[in-house]
């Protein structure tokens, strides 16, 4: 029986970060699983539509990716999501797979876990981010996407994992979650932090990182923090670029292979 792997992410409209953070993982999957039919899917239809209309560049959504597997005679399918938490996008993926299986009951589909799933994942992410060079009076603020889903607490749990490793000046704020940048600023001041390094806690350094975090225009996090008196340095590097973060996704894929 032919076997296939679908690598699924939210997606991005930025070509450079797509290559650095998504294609790099796909390439490792192809290298590890030679002979498998490997394809890509995005869960964001908005991103898919924008790429199609703007660049005439097509990316499948999960349902289309599964239909493509079917057309190629692949009935044993493994799906590895590149999402960060068990939120709405992950649940949407589960629903789409469930819908496909209703009409294709003889197919075998296994779905891997996102980046932050069990306690060990949190420890591995902290280690994989390699933050040992934090200087005195310097803080790191990660921009997470955040969600109204109950799994928004995953960001709190990750910050706690940083504390357990001795990183007192590392904070996580979110764009759409419960903890915002405004919640973090008083904590930075209380610790006497003068310089803030901004990093995306997202698979890709895409629209949120470029515009909401690092922009010199509008009301980006960089501008807000500078107005509060901090020296700010944004770093536009998505998690998908980091080999040790990639390793966690590949470990999750390996588990469903077993």
Domain membership of residue 137 as a residue range: 130-237
145 noted as active-site residue: yes
The binding site for Co(2+) consists of 10, 145, 176, 208
- Confidence tier at 1 by pLDDT (50, 70, 90): low
The binding site for substrate consists of 85-92, 203-204
Same domain, 142 and 210: yes
Strands 74-81 and 37-42: unpaired
Same domain, 90 and 140: no
The domain tally of the chain equals 2
The binding site consists of 10, 85-92, 145, 176, 203-204, 208
Same domain, 10 and 109: yes
Same domain, 11 and 103: yes
Residue 143, phi-psi category: left (phi > 0), alpha (psi -120 to 50), beta (remainder): beta
Asked, for residue 105, whether it belongs to a domain, the answer is yes
Same domain, 251 and 186: no
Catalytic residue among 58, 83, 145, 149: 145
Domain CATH for 152: 3.40.50.1400
Asked, for residue 75, whether it belongs to a domain, the answer is yes
Task: Specify the pTM.
Answer: 0.96
- Average predicted confidence (pLDDT) for the chain: 96
Q: What is the pLDDT of residue 80?
A: 98
Is 134 a residue whose pLDDT tops 90?
no
69-107: per-residue pLDDT in tens? 999 999 999 999 999 999 999 999 999 999 999 999 999
């Amino acid at each position: 029986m032919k076997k296939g792997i679908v690598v699924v992410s939210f997606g991005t409209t930025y070509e450079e970060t797509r290559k650095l953070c998504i294609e790099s993982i796909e390439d490792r999957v192809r290298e590890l699983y030679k002979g498998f039919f490997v394809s890509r899917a995005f869960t964001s239809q908005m991103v898919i539509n924008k790429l199609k209309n703007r660049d005439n560049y097509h990316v499948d959504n999960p349902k289309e990716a599964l239909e493509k597997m079917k057309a190629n005679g692949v009935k044993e399918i493994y799906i590895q999501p590149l999402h960060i938490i068990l939120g709405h996008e992950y649940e949407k993926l589960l629903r789409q797979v469930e819908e496909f299986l209703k009409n294709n009951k003889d197919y075998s589909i296994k779905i891997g876990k996102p980046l932050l799933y069990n306690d060990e994942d949190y420890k591995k992410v902290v280690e994989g981010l390699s933050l040992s060079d934090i200087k005195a009076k310097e803080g790191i603020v990660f921009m997470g996407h955040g969600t109204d889903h109950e799994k928004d607490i995953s960001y709190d749990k990750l910050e706690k994992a940083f504390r357990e490793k001795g990183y007192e000046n590392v904070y996580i704020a979110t764009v759409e979650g419960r903890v915002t940048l405004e919640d973090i600023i008083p904590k930075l001041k209380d610790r006497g932090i003068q310089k803030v390094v901004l990093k995306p806690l997202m698979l890709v350094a895409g629209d949120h990182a470029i515009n909401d975090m690092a922009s010199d225009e509008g009301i980006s996090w960089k501008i807000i923090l500078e107005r509060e008196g901090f020296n700010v340095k944004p770093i536009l590097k998505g998690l998908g670029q980091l080999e040790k973060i990639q390793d966690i996704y590949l470990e999750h894929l390996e588990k469903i292979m077993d």
